[in-house]
């Protein structure tokens, strides 16, 4: 419990990277040849990448056991 401030700061620091970079990238995609469809594909790819990282971390820490609290 004594590290709650540090851990919260790390979470905000890591999440700010995505918040600061994805908006300009989306703007370039929309203004370029991709349009809104390209932006939707970009968002979908990022969602799949995030899900893959979370799943890989869970499998690394708990193995292939499904009924484990992570």
30 C-beta neighbours (distance < 10 Å), count: 14
Specify the pTM: 0.74
Residue 45 lies in a domain: yes
Number of domains present in the structure of the chain: 1
Residue 69 lies in a domain: no
Residue 68 lies in a domain: no
Residue 34 lies in a domain: yes
Q: Please give the Cα distance from 61 to 63 (Å, whole number).
A: 6
User: Quick one: pLDDT at residue 70?
Assistant: 67
Residue 58 lies in a domain: yes
Percent of the chain surpassing pLDDT 70: 99
Residue 30 lies in a domain: yes
């Amino acid at each position: 419990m004594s590290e709650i401030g540090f851990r919260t700061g790390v979470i905000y620091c890591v999440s700010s990277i995505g918040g600061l970079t994805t908006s300009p990238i989306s703007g370039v995609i929309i203004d370029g040849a991709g349009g809104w469809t390209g932006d939707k594909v970009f968002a979908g790819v990022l969602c799949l990448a995030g899900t893959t990282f979370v799943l890989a971390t869970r499998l690394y820490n708990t193995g292939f056991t499904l009924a484990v609290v992570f």
